[in-house]
Amino acid sequence: MLKALLFDLDGTLADTDPLHLWAWREALAPWGIGVDEAFYRKRISGRLNPDILQDLLGLDGEAAAQIIEAKEARFRELAQDLKPMPGLLELLEEAQAKGLTWGVVTNAPKANAHHVLKALGLKPPLLVLAEEVGRGKPHPLPYQVALKRLGLLPTEALAFEDSPSGVRSAVGAGITTYGLLTGHGKEALLEAGARGVLRDFRQALALL
């Protein structure tokens, strides 16, 4: 029996990926790295910031932290007029009517997560931050923590993700997962383990 809906944040609750792409493009330009959509999908989307900086620049510690802080501050400057993904509010309203709870499970830094949720006017009963649980997606731990905090079995939840990394995380925790086609193609999401793909949440109402 379905009892909870679990959502990724960026690219799922709102289409924030274009803003992240812009902020990463500015942050990496001084290092001679150009960031287009293909590069963003392959090397950045769905990953933790420290892993991105280690991979792209070989940086960690304070040097990486300064770049990350500047990039995320720039993202928050850009993310002032966010709109919920089409159908999201209707889905949450229907879920509440059916007695379901919901939560957000994200690799996003704490400041970003709170900024985006505030901009969208959302107050999830559960917020799991990868940076606070010790492992980020694609590791299943963030979703395992979400299930534990809610006291649910994997079969009692549905997850919604927009990246292969996020899909692998949720599926790895045993949760049936649907992919949003905001940043990645159908094939990549299905290959990662998604049960199906959705253009937006208007297609998700039938899942409840």
State the Cα–Cα distance between residues 14 and 86, nearest whole angstrom: 9
- Give yes or no: 8 in active site: yes
Burial of 65 (0-12, 13-18, 19+ CB in 10 A): middle
| Tokens 């510690």 belong to residue | 61
Element (H, E) at 103: strand 101-106
Closest Cα partner for 109 from 64, 63, 174?
A: 64
| Active-site position among 8, 15, 17, 162 | 8
Residue among 109, 102, 42, 55 nearest 79 (CA): 109
Query: How far, in Å, CA of 155 to CA of 79, rounded?
Result: 34
- Distance in angstroms (rounded) separating the CA atoms of residues 66 and 61: 9
Is 10 labeled as catalytic in the residue annotation? yes
Closest CA to 149 of 167, 179, 173, 183: 173
Task: Indicate which residues carry an active-site annotation.
Answer: 8, 10
